[in-house]
Each structure stands twice: as C-alpha cells, then as structure tokens.
C-alpha cells in the first residue's frame, strides 16, 4: 500500500472512487462466482462430491488388441448367427456360421471404428465424458433450417432435457387453468419438467426418489433380505447424488462434479451393460452406478432403438413386457442390488416389432425424433408438461407419409385420406395398448407383491382397449397443466367438455365391475374399506369437490380453458387415460386437484405404510424449502396459479409433533391423458368400428349434435 | 352497374344459400379437406376436396354438384367411366345468352390450337387452369388495381408452372424452373409483378385469347411493349383505357394515355425519387427564404438600434 502510485491515486478524489468501485466489482464477482453457489447449495441441501466409478486399470497394448479382436469377432459371430437363423439343422447351421466367419468380405467388417481411434490415441481406459471430449469437444449441429453451427459438446449435453429434466422456455403448448400459457408471455418463467412435476404414475418425484435401496423379502428367498435398487435416477444421464437441482435456480449452472458424471455410453454404446446400473452408497449418499468399462466404450456410435429403450421401455411397453431383445429386462436388472420392476405399463404403447410397424421395419428412434445435436425433439404437440428441448420442431407421421398416406386401396384411398382432416393417424392405426396399461392406480392401499418381496401400489384397473384404456379426444396440440388434452369439435361449438365428461367419468360397466372386484380384494387387507364408496370415488372423482368448488371449476373451464380448446385445428387423437389416489395436501386445493405428496420408496416398499412413507419424504430438505418464502416467491406461487389453486399456501403439512396436517387421500379430480404415438399397426381400423351405433367412438361425448350422430352412425355406404 | 349490383347480390346471397340434400350427400366426403390421393402414374397429388364456402362464393355457386357431374357419381363408389370422363364446360358456356356473343367460340378456337391442348390432348381441360369450384368470371374479378390483376391472372399459370408437383402430376416429368427458362429477360421479378404471362405467351391481342403459344413462339421483343403504342395498351391496360375514354373522352384519353410511357417509365422508385427531389428543392427554397427573412429582420433591428 506504500506504493507511491496507489497513494497518489488514493489521495485524489476520483482515484479513491475508482479504487472503491474496483473493489466492489471484484467482491461482487467473487460472490456470484464462488460464494453464491455455495450458499445456495447449502440452502437446498444438495451434496456434490467427485464421482468415482470402478473403471479398473489401464489395459496394456496387448490386452487392448485382444479386447478389440474379441469385440469384432463377437459382432461377426452374431451376424453370422442371424444370417443363418433359417437353417433348422443345428449342425448345418454351425458349419454355415464357420464358413461365413472365414469368408473374406465378412472378415473385413469392422463395426466398431473406435477400436482403431482409441488405439491410435493411446486411450487404454474409459474415464467418462473426459475421454469422449478428448476428440469430441465440439460437434457440428444442423438446425431445422439447415444452418450448421459448431457447439461445445459438454454444454450441449448439460443444457439438454436429458440432463436437466426441466426447461424454463415457453412453447410447452401447456396452459395453466388460469388460462395463461405456461412460461408464455406475461408469466414469470419457472422450471418445469420431470424434475419438479409430481406424478401419480411413479408416486414420487426426482428429489425424493432419486437413488434408493430397498430391503425386499422375495418369496423365493425364504425370508432372506435382498437389497434392491429403485429410483428415478436409474434412467437419467447425470450421475450425481441428486437430480440437477442447481440448474433450476437462478444464475446457477450444474457443478463440475455432475458434468463429469454424465453417462455418455448409456445412449451411445450398443454394448452398454444395464446390469451395472444399480444404486451405490458411499459416505456422501446414494447415486447410480454406470457401465464405464473400456469394452463398452469401444462400441460407441449413434444411438439405436435399443439404447433409447434401455430407459424408455418403462414408458412404452412397460417394465414387464415379454420377449424383449437380449440385454433388456428382466435380464439386465443388475448382478446384485437388482432394480425393481414396476407392474402396470405407463403408456402401454410398445415399440417392439410385434406391436409397432416402424419397429418391425428396423427403424431407430432418431429416424423420426431427428436430433439437433443433443437436443431431441418430442414434437410440437404434447400434454404432459415434460420439458421439451425443441418445442417447435414437429415429429409427425406426415413428415414421411405425406398428406395423402393411403396409397394402396384404390377404391377407398381418397376417402381414407379424407379422414385425415378429422382424425390423427394414431386414431385408426393404434388399435389397442398393452393389456397391462394402467388406468387407475391406488397408492393409498399397498398390497404385498410376493414375487418381488415388497409392498406395491394396487393397479385397480388396467386395460388396453379403446374407450377403456385409452379414449378418443379432440386435440389441437394444447394441454392443461395437469395433462389433459385440449381441443374442440370442429363442427359444433360449446358442446365438447372433456374436463366435465370423458376425463372425470368411468361408466363402462366392464370397467366398473373390475374396479369393484379390485376393491373387494383390497377389502381383505383393509376391512374398513367401503367398497361402494370406493367404486364411486374412483369412477367419479368430482365427488371430492364441494358444490362451491364444482361451480368454480365450471366457471374456470368456460372462461380460461375453452378459449384454449377453440384454438387452431383439432383432430381426434387416442389418449391413454390415467388416475391415481394419493395423499394430498388440502391447504393447496383447487377445483382441479390439490398438491399431491410424494412417497419415500424404501418406507413404502418395506413397511406398506403409505402415511409414514409420506412423512419421510416430507423431511427431504428440498421439500421443506418448497414451503419457505424464497421458493414460494421464486416458483411455487406461479406453479399454483397454473394449477388453478391461486397461491401457494406455504404451510408445511407436518405438525410440530410430527403428525401430518390437513392431508387427505383423494383421486385426482380428473384423469390425466397421455399421448400415445407408438404401437402403430399397419392395418388401420375398419369403417364399422366407428361408424355404427355400437362403435368405439362416443360421438355424443365428442360434442356432435344428435342429427350428425345419426348420420355418422348409419352411413348409406355401410348398409 | 347492373353487373356490379348482381355481383354484390350474389356475393351476399351465396354463403346463405342452403345446400341441397344431394350436395350434402356429396360433401359428406368431398367436404373433408384432406380428401386426396397420390396418382400412381405421375406421383402427383390429386385433390378431391371442395371447400363449400369457396364454392358458394364462386361463379358456379348457384349450381348443384349434379349440374356438372353426371349420373355415374350418384352412389359410392362412383363409376370408373364417369370418373374418366371430362367435364363439358362448353355445353353451358357456348352460345349462352348470359355470356358475350361468340366469346366462348373464340376461346374454344384459341384453346384447341394452344400448346396446352396439343401437348396434352385428353389431359388438359378448362378445369386444368380454371378451378370450377372456385372460379370467378371475368366480370367479377376485374380489378382496378393493375398489379393485383397481374397477380391474380399469373396465379393461374404459376399454379402449375411454379409448382413441380403439379407439373409432374400433369406431364409426368419436370420442367426447368421459370427462372432458368426466363433467364434472358432482364429484371425478371419486376416483369412478373407488372406483366401477365399471357401478354407474351398468346398469339393475338384479344383480351381473352386462349391460344397459348409453344415456348419457341413466345414474344421476345422488348420494343413490343416498351414503346409508344405499347402492346400492353391493347391487352392488360385495355379496360383502363376504356374507362379513361369514358371519363376523359376519346381524344383526351388518347393524348393522356401515352404521355407516361407504360412499361418504360412505370417505376415506383423513380416516382418517389422525383417526388422526394421536388420536396427537397421546395424545402431548400423555403429554408433559404426563411433565413433571408430572419437576417433582414435582424439587420433592420440593429439599424434601428444604431439609429437610436
């Protein structure tokens, strides 16, 4: 400080001011860069630590060469086996395989170019993203308008939905019950996506069910405890101790540890071993293991249908789909601490070749979902509030099949094409969903699953049939905050109202009989259960609303939702319908539902005591923070406005003595409707399946006037 | 005037006209806006959809479907022979008192000699250019605004010639792009905005000439238009000339007509530039005057002070 320049500057009036300003700037910068993230991390109670995986020692040159040769040999062997599959005589087949393996052109096939790349670059061990980024630090990305950009690969991944499971961008095509587009004009953008969207299918969300270890007592183990892995993190590419909570908060990026934990190989390596994907517990907490073997890393390439389905099988055909290809469930659940398999398919639209014509044609997911870098489009229509990286990029049948897709049936082709004006392709070409497609799920009355040895939710009603497991709804590409498809009858205004009709009533006698049957089964374990009341509430969830709430609901539908329904062009789409009974916090109740409370998986699965499980989940630091002022102002109030509740009460639903306050079990006030676009059949429906008085379409519920219904149900051509 | 009134009345009444039961039957299918199929021979899209509102507002709005589409279309599926048969527009249009005498005779004569009819016999009909379900007769579509008229008329040609799908659909092959085939023409875009295709591609100066020439015979003479007595005055600007004659009298119109050489000096930028120049000159003049007045006043005041 004795330096004459500084002293002279300090003595000068303006000099002193400049020095002060510089000091403040430096202090401010340091706060933003180092202190603020630390404070925030401490506040939300997340843990970050360097993530280590068992990657073994680097291979010697000889070991590497042997590994490369083995991989290539295995690939050729598999191809030879596939090529000779039609040979019935086993000995002849073996000989044919041998001949092929010795064939010159066959021997030249080198399916894994990275064997050579790694060899030349001297890579003898796979160390996660670091290894990939050695060569791929930037990638070329082609935009939808054909422009090519060079982007930083790591940043591209970290800001993709597959990493962050959230987006604050608009263009979700989702509307709040207050009539505003989510994160649209005039809103305070909030992070929405799987990270914070509670859902009745998994019964928890990413924070409270990230990586859990469950003590199961399967029947085959004779009472022995078997540790199982469970949680949302099993399907996400980040490897940390928690989801990417940091990216939710203002001015906060994902920490370096999380970036180093990205699992590149789960999408890019055809040889990925899902058996490695189980929960590991260390001194910092629990997280998901990854396959980081060099052997797997050498098989990298573009994602295939199977790599996508490692995770997405869960929401397509479901965890328990039969006859999946090698390397899928139930053979990939882990060598130990096996992952739990969930009953009841989430969407029930399988992407296996027996079920879907595109899968049968050998197509891969990215043929239709054409990525821009690591951003993968899911279409510009969607009702489920799951974040969308490219909300304006279309993924639709017309992209390949043109506007006149029926070409073969020369007599009816124009007529069939004519129907495209009113019907989506899916309406005819998805004939049914899988039979275990879940429609009603009861989380409040757990039942013992002897095979898995845990208590699980009870699927009260499963069906894959039209009108039961899925319904036909008008859809203009918009949906509500609670996943209800919106649209309107194009020829008759003010008659169609799914939020008071299709999505709140189950009146199919067969469905009612099954729900009653399930209730009777539940009654054996829960003797207090009133079967008739149970059936009534499950099939008519509006009974949970007071007359005042019901009136408010109707008013909000007419004033806020109907204008959104009338937007654009509506067509009929099939929607898988779903409802669940969960514990709700009644302090935040509105005409469309109340805040549902998450379950803690280990408590739920091990004890079968759902209320205790809720209590445990509510102790999670981030759930507590949600009930505090900063989160209320930052996002919860806005969340509740979309929800139709108005404002977030902010009242933590646990009393000082630890008992729950103001918590009740209810079905959601309407069924959610999830889009189904896979499980496409080559043959569409026959005319009479819809155009008959006993058809699968409920024309009245769709808002058609009586005379039009008569016309549609008795076409002169059908006689 | 009567025509205009009639047109207004038609426009007002047309959308209100109740559909006949027969038409309703047809529109059950043809009202579906995506009713179309891909022609297996050409790969082009064949659109079979009718927009009832456009139809009602068209010149044919009063007609029933059956008026043109014969008995083979009564039931579904329609008879194959009926589908193959061409429409018989001239059955109504030729020798009909509703239309100017001999107009359609000359149209027919021109059309049969035209390149379209010769190159695509049995495949090129009136309806190939004039969509009978949307067509507006000349008396309805004649517009005062020349660029609009140009756009409208050229749209008929460009509908096919600017659309490879349609060309492929019609001929089974692809033609070179218009930009390429008109590469010799300077200021291409401006020409297309200001002149109709038919000015150069028909053989006579009659306004409704349908004798579309083979491309080797099309007019390539700049001076035909860019001159006194421009060819355009007998074609595109014919109606305007007629009107001017009515307004200004024959002799005056003749005098005024060529004063501003159409096609040569018709340049909006030039117009605006000269206007701007004029305005600028005025502004400078006024400014100069104002400044002189100010200086004079000041000088007068200081003189007074000096006097005092």
Give the residue carrying structure tokens 């000349």: B138
Per the domain annotation, does B48 fall within a domain? Answer: yes
Among candidates B30, B34, B48 on the partner chain, residue whose Cβ is nearest the Cβ of A420: B34
Q: Cβ separation of A415 and B28 shorter than 8 Å?
A: no
**Residue (of A209, A184, A181) closest to A194 by Cα position:** A209
Per the domain annotation, does B55 fall within a domain? Answer: yes
* Burial of residue A559, with CB atoms counted within 10 A of its CB: 0-12 exposed, 13-18 middle, 19 or more buried: exposed
Q: Cα–Cα–Cα angle for B164, B170, B175, nearest 5°? A: 40
Structure confidence at residue A599 (pLDDT): 96
Structure confidence at residue A394 (pLDDT): 93
Q: Give B196 or A510, the one with higher predicted confidence.
A: A510
**Percent of chain A with pLDDT strictly greater than 90:** 83
Q: Give the gap in angstroms from C-alpha A497 to the nearest C-alpha of chain B.
A: 24
Total domains, chain B: 1
Rounded to 10 deg, the angle between the A4-11 and A13-30 helix axes is: 110
**Residue (of A265, A268, A315, A309) closest to A290 by Cα position:** A265
Q: Give the gap in angstroms from C-alpha B21 to the nearest C-alpha of chain A.
A: 13
3-state helix, strand, coil in chain B (%, to 5): 60, 5, 40
**Residue (of B207, B259, B203) closest to B229 by Cα position:** B259
For B98, residues 6+ apart whose C-beta sits below 8 A from its C-beta are none
Structure confidence at residue A303 (pLDDT): 95
**Residue B142 pLDDT grade (very low, low, confident, very high; cuts 50, 70, 90):** low
Q: Cβ separation of B48 and A403 shorter than 8 Å?
A: no
Least confident residue range of B63-77, B184-198, B215-229: B215-229
Structure confidence at residue B202 (pLDDT): 86
Q: Cβ separation of B45 and A403 shorter than 8 Å?
A: yes
**Residue (of A177, A26, A73) closest to A483 by Cα position:** A177
For A252, residues 6+ apart whose C-beta sits below 8 A from its C-beta are A36, A37, A40, A246
Chain B residue with minimum CA distance to A708: B28
Q: What value does the mean pLDDT take over residues B70-82? A: 87
Q: Which residues on chain B are in Cβ contact (under 8 Å) with A711?
A: 28
Structure confidence at residue B14 (pLDDT): 44
Structure confidence at residue B242 (pLDDT): 61
Structure confidence at residue B229 (pLDDT): 67
pLDDT beyond 50 at B7? no
Q: How many CB atoms lie within 10 A of CB B59?
A: 19
Q: What is the dihedral of CA B73, B78, B84, B85, to 10 degrees?
A: -20
Per the domain annotation, does B184 fall within a domain? Answer: no
Which residue ranges make up each domain of chain A?
Answer: 4-44, 154-682, 683-713
Structure confidence at residue A321 (pLDDT): 94
pLDDT beyond 70 at B193? yes
Q: How far is CA A276 from CA A70, A132, A209, A328, in A?
A: 21, 20, 19, 13
Helix (H) or strand (E) run with residue B70 in it:
none
**Residue B249 pLDDT grade (very low, low, confident, very high; cuts 50, 70, 90):** low
Q: Give the gap in angstroms from C-alpha B31 to the nearest C-alpha of chain A.
A: 8
Model's pTM, two decimal places?
0.84
DSSP letter for A370, please.
-
Q: Please identify every stretch of chain A with a pLDDT value under 70, giving residue numbers as ranges.
A: 1-3
Q: Give the gap in angstroms from C-alpha B304 to the nearest C-alpha of chain A.
A: 53
Report the distance separating Cα A147 and Cα B184, nearest Å.
32
Query: Please, are residues A606 and A228 in contact by the beta-carbon 8 Å criterion?
Result: no
Structure confidence at residue B80 (pLDDT): 86
Among candidates A403, A414, A420 on the partner chain, residue whose Cβ is nearest the Cβ of B48: A414
Structure confidence at residue B255 (pLDDT): 46
For A690, residues 6+ apart whose C-beta sits below 8 A from its C-beta are A696, A697, A712
Q: Cβ separation of A406 and B37 shorter than 8 Å?
A: yes
Chain B residue with minimum CA distance to A421: B34
Query: Please, are residues A467 and A698 in contact by the beta-carbon 8 Å criterion?
Result: yes
Report the distance separating Cα B242 and Cα B272, nearest Å.
28
Q: Give B67 or A511, the one with higher predicted confidence.
A: A511
Burial readout A500-522 (b: 16 or more C-beta within 10 A, e: otherwise): eebbbebebeebbebbbebbeeb
For A662, residues 6+ apart whose C-beta sits below 8 A from its C-beta are A585, A586, A587, A651, A653
Q: Cβ separation of B46 and A403 shorter than 8 Å?
A: no
pLDDT beyond 90 at B221? no
Among candidates B28, B34, B38 on the partner chain, residue whose Cβ is nearest the Cβ of A421: B34
Q: Give B184 or A475, the one with higher predicted confidence.
A: A475
Q: How far is CA B163 from CA B125, B136, B170, in A?
A: 18, 22, 11
Q: Give the gap in angstroms from C-alpha A135 to the nearest C-alpha of chain B.
A: 44
pLDDT beyond 70 at B16? no
Q: Give the gap in angstroms from C-alpha B42 to the nearest C-alpha of chain A.
A: 13
Q: How many CB atoms lie within 10 A of CB A121?
A: 12
Structure confidence at residue A562 (pLDDT): 97
Segment B47-63, tens digit of pLDDT: 999 998 899 888 888 88
Report the distance separating Cα A176 and Cα A190, nearest Å.
13
Range of the domain at B60: 12-85
φ, ψ for residue A316, nearest 5 deg: -100, -100
Q: How far is CA B86 from the centre of its chain?
A: 25
Residues composing chain A: 719
Cβ-based interface (< 8 Å): residues of B facing A: 28-30, 32-38, 40, 45-46, 48-49, 76-77
Least confident residue range of A18-22, A473-477, B121-125, B202-206: B202-206
* Burial of residue B248, with CB atoms counted within 10 A of its CB: 0-12 exposed, 13-18 middle, 19 or more buried: middle
Structure confidence at residue B22 (pLDDT): 80
pLDDT beyond 90 at B103? no
Q: How far is CA A417 from CA A358, A400, A487, in A?
A: 20, 15, 21
Residue A409 Ramachandran class (φ > 0 left, ψ -120 to 50 alpha, else beta): beta
Report the distance separating Cα A195 and Cα A247, nearest Å.
10
Residues composing chain B: 308
Q: Cβ separation of A407 and B49 shorter than 8 Å?
A: no
Cβ-based interface (< 8 Å): residues of A facing B: 402-404, 406-407, 411-415, 417-422, 711, 715, 717
Q: How far is CA B276 from CA A521, B270, B283, in A?
A: 89, 10, 10
Per the domain annotation, does B179 fall within a domain? Answer: no
Query: Please, are residues A182 and A196 in contact by the beta-carbon 8 Å criterion?
Result: no
What residues form DSSP beta bridges with B46? Answer: B37
Q: Between β-strands A672-675 and A226-230, what pairing exists: parallel, antiparallel or unpaired?
A: unpaired
Structure confidence at residue B248 (pLDDT): 53
Among candidates A412, A418, A717 on the partner chain, residue whose Cβ is nearest the Cβ of B34: A418
pLDDT beyond 50 at B11? no
Q: What is the dihedral of CA A118, A120, A125, A127, to 10 degrees?
A: -70
């Amino acid at each position: 400080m004795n330096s004459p320049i500084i002293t002279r500057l300090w003595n000068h009036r303006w000099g002193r001011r400049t020095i002060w300003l510089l000091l403040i700037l430096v202090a401010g910068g340091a706060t933003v860069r180092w202190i603020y993230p630390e404070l925030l991390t401490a506040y939300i109670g997340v843990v970050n630590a360097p993530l280590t995986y068992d990657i073994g020692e680097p291979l010697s040159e000889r070991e590497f060469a042997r590994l490369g040769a083995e991989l290539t040999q295995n690939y050729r062997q598999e191809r030879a086996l596939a090529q000779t599959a039609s040979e019935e005589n086993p000995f002849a087949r073996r000989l044919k395989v041998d001949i092929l393996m010795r064939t010159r052109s066959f021997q030249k096939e080198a399916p894994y170019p990275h064997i050579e790349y790694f060899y030349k670059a001297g890579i003898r061990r796979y160390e996660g993203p670091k290894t990939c980024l050695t060569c791929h630090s930037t990638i070329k990305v082609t935009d939808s308008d054909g422009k090519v950009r060079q982007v930083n690969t790591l940043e591209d991944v970290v800001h993709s939905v597959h990493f962050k499971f959230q987006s604050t961008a608009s263009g979700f095509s989702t509307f709040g019950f207050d009539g505003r587009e989510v994160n649209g004009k005039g809103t305070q953008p909030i992070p929405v996506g799987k990270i914070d969207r509670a859902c009745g299918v998994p019964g928890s969300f990413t924070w409270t069910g990230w990586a859990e270890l469950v003590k199961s007592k399967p029947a085959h183990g004779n009472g022995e405890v078997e540790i199982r892995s469970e949680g949302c993190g099993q399907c996400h590419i980040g490897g940390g101790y928690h989801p990417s909570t940091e990216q939710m908060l203002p001015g906060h990026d994902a920490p370096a540890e999380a970036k180093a934990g990205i699992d590149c190989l789960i999408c890019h390596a055809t040889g990925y071993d899902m058996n490695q994907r189980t929960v590991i517990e260390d001194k910092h907490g629990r997280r998901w293991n990854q396959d980081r073997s060099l052997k797997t890393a050498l098989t990298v390439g573009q994602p295939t249908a199977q790599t996508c389905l490692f995770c997405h099988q869960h929401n397509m055909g479901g965890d328990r789909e039969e006859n999946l290809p090698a390397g899928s469930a139930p053979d990939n659940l882990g060598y130990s601490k096996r992952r739990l398999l969930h009953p009841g398919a989430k969407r029930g639209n399988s992407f296996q070749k027996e079920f879907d014509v595109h899968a049968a044609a050998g197509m891969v997911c990215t043929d239709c979902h054409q990525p821009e870098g690591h951003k993968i489009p899911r279409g510009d229509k969607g009702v489920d509030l799951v974040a969308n990286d490219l909300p304006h990029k279309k993924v639709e049948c017309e992209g390949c099949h043109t506007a006149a897709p029926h070409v073969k049936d020369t007599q009816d082709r124009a007529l069939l094409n004519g129907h495209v004006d009113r019907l989506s392709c899916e309406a005819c070409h998805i004939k049914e969903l899988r039979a275990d497609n879940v429609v009603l799920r009861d989380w409040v009355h757990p039942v013992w699953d002897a095979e898995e040895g845990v208590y699980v939710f009870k699927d009260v009603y499963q069906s894959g049939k039209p009108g039961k497991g899925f319904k036909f709804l008008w859809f203009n590409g918009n949906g509500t905050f609670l996943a209800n498809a919106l649209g309107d009858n194009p020829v008759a205004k003010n008659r169609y109202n799914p939020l008071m009709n299709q999505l709140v009533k189950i009146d199919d006698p067969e469905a009612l009989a099954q729900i009653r049957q399930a209730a009777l089964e539940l009654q054996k374990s829960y003797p207090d259960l009133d079967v008739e009341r149970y059936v009534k509430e499950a099939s008519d969830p509006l009974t949970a609303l007071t007359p005042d709430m019901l009136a408010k609901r109707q008013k909000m539908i007419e004033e806020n939702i109907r204008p959104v329904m009338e937007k654009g062009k509506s067509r009929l789409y099939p929607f898988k319908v779903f409802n669940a009974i969960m514990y709700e916090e009644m302090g935040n109740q509105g005409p469309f539902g109340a805040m549902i409370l998450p379950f803690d998986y280990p408590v739920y699965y091990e004890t079968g005591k759902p209320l205790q499980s809720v209590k445990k989940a509510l102790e999670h630091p981030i759930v507590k923070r949600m009930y505090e002022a900063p989160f209320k102002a930052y996002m919860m109030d806005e969340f509740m406005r979309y929800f139709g509740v108005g404002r977030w009460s902010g009242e933590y639903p646990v009393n000082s003595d630890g008992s729950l306050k103001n918590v009740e079990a209810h079905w959601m006030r309407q069924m959610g409707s999830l889009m189904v676009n896979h499980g496409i059949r080559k043959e569409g429906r026959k005319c009479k399946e819809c155009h008959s008085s006993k058809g699968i379409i409920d024309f009245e519920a769709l808002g058609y006037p009586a005379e039009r219904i008569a016309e549609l149900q008795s076409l002169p051509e059908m006689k | 005037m009567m025509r205009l009134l009639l047109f207004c009345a038609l426009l007002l009444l047309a959308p209100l006209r109740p559909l006949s039961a027969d038409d309703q039957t047809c529109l059950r299918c043809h009202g579906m806006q995506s009713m179309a199929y891909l022609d297996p021979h050409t790969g082009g899209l064949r659109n079979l959809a009718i927009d009832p509102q456009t139809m009602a507002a068209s010149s044919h709005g009063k007609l029933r479907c059956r008026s043109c589409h014969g008995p083979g279309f009564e039931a579904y599926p329609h008879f194959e022979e009926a589908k193959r048969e061409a429409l018989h527009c001239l059955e109504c249009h030729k020798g009909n008192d509703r239309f100017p005498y001999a107009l359609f005779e000359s149209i027919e004569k021109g059309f049969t000699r035209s390149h379209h009819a010769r190159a695509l016999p049995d495949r090129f009909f009136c309806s190939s250019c004039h969509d009978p379900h949307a067509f507006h007769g000349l008396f309805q579509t004649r517009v005062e605004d020349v660029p609009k008229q140009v756009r409208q008329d050229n749209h008929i040609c460009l509908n096919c010639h600017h659309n490879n799908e349609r060309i492929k659909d019609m001929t089974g092959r692809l033609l070179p792009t218009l930009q390429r085939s008109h590469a010799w023409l300077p200021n291409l875009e401006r020409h297309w905005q200001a002149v109709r295709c038919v000015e150069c591609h028909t053989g006579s100066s009659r306004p409704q000439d349908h004798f579309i020439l083979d491309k080797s015979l099309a007019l390539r003479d700049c001076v035909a238009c860019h001159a006194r007595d421009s060819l355009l005055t007998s074609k595109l600007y014919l109606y305007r000339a007629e009107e001017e004659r009515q307004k200004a009298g024959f002799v005056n119109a003749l005098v005024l007509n060529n004063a501003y050489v159409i096609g040569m000096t018709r340049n909006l930028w030039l117009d605006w530039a000269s206007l701007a120049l004029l305005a600028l000159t005025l502004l400078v003049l006024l400014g100069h005057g104002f400044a002189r007045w100010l200086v004079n006043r000041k000088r007068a005041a200081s003189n007074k002070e000096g006097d005092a």
